[in-house]
A and B are shown apart, each in its own frame.
Chain A
Amino acid sequence: MLDTLETLCCLSGVSGNEDEVRDYILERVMPFADEIRTDPMGNLMVFKKGEVSPDQTIMLAAHMDEVGLIVTDITDDGFLKFAFAGGIDRRVLPGKRVYVGESRTLGVVGMKAVHMTDAKERKELSELEDMYIDIGASDRKSAEELVRLGDTVSFDDTVIRFGDGFLKAKAIDDRVGCATMLELIESRLPCDCWFAFTVQEEVGCRGAVTAARSIQPDVALILEGTTAADIPGVKGADRICRLGQGVVIPFMDRGTIYDKALYGQLTAIADKNEISWQTKTRIAGGTDASVIQRSMTGVRVAAVSVAVRNIHSPAGVAKISECEAQLRLARLFLEDMAKA
């Protein structure tokens, strides 16, 4: 699973431009799928038969897109101006490498040398409109040969395993969910299942809206990477969730109050199988569950997430064992549903 996750994190898939991720997943699932659907939004939906066919339609969902930037203008000097696709704290940008457009042109988010700033300036944050990407072009014309307006920009894609079983990568949110679903599709399933690889989650769960209508599930399990704020200076419940404390099973976030019975079912399965789990100690973030739950006449939803530090930055960090635990718990959930 780890290799799959690392490969997925290296692909570019900023919201609205998930093609690279979808193409990769499509190629992997082709030999294993019983039915494959795509839709005008760009969602990829995969059906695979299992050992039993429950009365209820079960859907697993993970989003393919990642947060990133989008080129909005090119200056006369050949610098790129940009906006955000998804929620990004602009403080993570100065001094970072990025890749621009299909040409994967290397760019950097530049800033004035520290020597040329005064103490007051160093306490001030540049406005987004004053930030720029430098791609090594000397003027507008040479920049235009490499980049078009609307090109998406993704963070540096170096993947590193470090410390006591940690993984550093961009886009762990939500390639971890995609990796879990890929592994399930490539294995024997306990029951029939739909897998929705959705688009545009980071810009408002837009892909999941149409995917849910296409599949019309009774039960949906969202597989996510979620917000961990377990860094020094943040105390107690404000940490939301903590790396090393197990997979995250939320009862509520800013988009959804999750189905109580499914929440109980998942936590019971985890306890029985000695899978460490935690819940979110602060109501923060949201998932595709928000729109899936309110599809048609309503869908029962639950989520199993992996805690990610420095989420929505180039240096997301997850505990590898917790990525594997997400896969294990999702499989056990399907086994449980097969018995019902």
Chain B
Amino acid sequence: MNMELTELTRALSAIPGPSGFESPVSEYIAEYVRPFADDVKIDVMGTLLAWKRCGKTGAKTVLLDAHMDEVGFIVTAVEEGGFLKFSTLGGIDARILPALEVKVLSEDGPLFGVIGTMPPHALKAGDSDKAVDADDLYIDVGLSQEEAEKRVPPGTPAVYAAGCDTMAGGRLCGKSLDDRVCAAIQVKAFEDLCGRDLNVDLCLMISTQEEVGGRGAVTGAWGADPDYAIVSDVTFDKGTDGKSVATVLGKGAAIAVGPNMNTAMTRELVRLAEEKGIPYQIEVCPGRSGTNAEEIQISRLGVATALVSLPIRYMHTPIECALPEDMESVRRLVAEYVASMEA
């Protein structure tokens, strides 16, 4: 079941797995890596660890991380008329919610739902100039209150009801590219490296609950006990996210520089990118990186950690956009780095 990077990204994007409810994603990835990994485990937090040992005495361990969870929703109450009150799992801008389509993950199968909106005909002057308040919004699954109480009890999660499409220029557009696209990149890098003669033991970690605070990476990194880690996550695009952003869609892998990252690893990544002609850009992170690199760097007694990011547009929406060329740059850079590591 060998899949190309974009194909694997699409497959992963289609799987519903909001923070705390990621098991369909980990099961899919476990099955994918099992044929070439030495060992695959899923820990108590749901984080997946897959190993490939080089068999050399005293080999160091390198961790490749990306997170598997996506932002989503969780039902908190069933209200009169069967409408569902909800909170978000992870950061979602309420301004995308009116008329949004969702997939409610009830135990007896997914239910389609829409977040209702007032008809423009019934609005008072000025109403439509105000941003909506998420507290006023509900998911409509077209069920009576009695039926909804039975099938969609509080605690039922939901995700965006969106697929992964291809836009002009080959750009991917879909839900949960944050961070399934980097999960696919790390899985493909791991797959590639499993076929090579390495000087290090390799551990692939696809972690849970990043969108609610890097929680799955905490236990996963402890279990993996690595010496080095390369984290891959999505980052922003200057074109749509504003002037404070330096990374640009289409300019290649974003190598992060800052206190959250190990300087020697970062410099080596830059050197390798130059040497191999892999498109890259520098992303300066003066403080927190907002990624699992934060948790992994201070795991156990400390881990030398690097962060190679992928710029995307419209993060945390159903229309996240990523470029296959950038994805390929990140994959190549991660794989080249690990392959070039000496004993």
Which A residues form the contact surface with B (CB < 8 A)?
77, 87-92, 94-97, 105-117, 122-125, 134-138, 142, 146, 158, 160, 162-166, 168, 227-234, 238, 240, 282, 284-285, 309-315, 317
Q: Is B313 an interface residue (CB 8 A)?
A: yes
CB neighbours (8 Å) of B129 from chain A are 125
CB pair B98 A135 closer than 8 Å: no
CB pair B81 A111 closer than 8 Å: no
The listed residue (B93, B116, B245) touching A114 by CB distance below 8 A is B93
Q: Is B277 an interface residue (CB 8 A)?
A: no
CB neighbours (8 Å) of B250 from chain A are 138
What's the Cα separation between A227 and B116 when bound, in Å?
Answer: 13
| Distance from B279 Cβ to chain A, minimum over Cβ atoms (Å) | 15
What's the Cα separation between A233 and B245 when bound, in Å?
Answer: 39
What's the Cα separation between A273 and B100 when bound, in Å?
Answer: 37
Within B220-251, the residues touching A (CB, 8 Å) are 236, 239-242, 244-245, 250
CB neighbours (8 Å) of B38 from chain A are none
CB neighbours (8 Å) of A117 from chain B are 93
Q: Is B114 an interface residue (CB 8 A)?
A: yes
- Category for how many chain B residues contact A: 35 or more
The listed residue (B98, B132, B171, B239) touching A77 by CB distance below 8 A is B239
Starting from the known contacts A106-B173, A282-B122, 17 additional A-B residue pairs (CB-CB under 8 Å) come to A87-B120, A96-B96, A97-B173, A97-B319, A106-B167, A112-B241, A113-B315, A122-B94, A135-B168, A136-B168, A163-B111, A229-B118, A310-B117, A313-B98, A313-B99, A314-B99, A315-B100
| Distance from A24 Cβ to chain B, minimum over Cβ atoms (Å) | 24
Residue of A nearest to B136 (CB): A233
CB pair B168 A91 closer than 8 Å: no
Decide yes or no: A122 and B117 within 8 Å by CB, A96-B319, A110-B240 being known contacts.
Answer: no
CB pair B121 A162 closer than 8 Å: no
Q: Is B318 an interface residue (CB 8 A)?
A: yes
Within B128-145, the residues touching A (CB, 8 Å) are 128-132, 136, 138, 140-144
What's the Cα separation between A142 and B170 when bound, in Å?
Answer: 13
CB neighbours (8 Å) of B162 from chain A are 97
CB neighbours (8 Å) of B114 from chain A are 168, 310, 315, 317
CB neighbours (8 Å) of B173 from chain A are 97, 106, 108, 136
CB neighbours (8 Å) of A158 from chain B are 101
Q: Is B79 an interface residue (CB 8 A)?
A: yes
CB pair B245 A146 closer than 8 Å: no
Residue of B nearest to A136 (CB): B167
What's the Cα separation between A123 and B131 when bound, in Å?
Answer: 5
CB pair B122 A238 closer than 8 Å: yes
CB pair A136 B91 closer than 8 Å: no
The listed residue (A110, A116, A162) touching B111 by CB distance below 8 A is A162
Q: Is B199 an interface residue (CB 8 A)?
A: no
What's the Cα separation between A115 and B291 when bound, in Å?
Answer: 12
What's the Cα separation between A231 and B122 when bound, in Å?
Answer: 12
| Distance from A257 Cβ to chain B, minimum over Cβ atoms (Å) | 17
Q: Is B123 an interface residue (CB 8 A)?
A: yes
CB neighbours (8 Å) of A115 from chain B are 91, 236, 290, 315-316
The listed residue (B83, B101, B122, B245) touching A168 by CB distance below 8 A is B101
Task: Bits for B84-106, please: 1 = Cβ < 8 Å to A, else 0.
Answer: 00000001111110111100000
Q: Is B119 an interface residue (CB 8 A)?
A: yes
CB neighbours (8 Å) of A106 from chain B are 165-168, 173
CB pair B121 A105 closer than 8 Å: no
CB neighbours (8 Å) of B113 from chain A are 162
What's the Cα separation between A108 and B173 when bound, in Å?
Answer: 9
CB pair A231 B315 closer than 8 Å: no
What's the Cα separation between A125 and B123 when bound, in Å?
Answer: 16
The listed residue (A87, A116, A229) touching B245 by CB distance below 8 A is A116
CB pair A125 B95 closer than 8 Å: yes
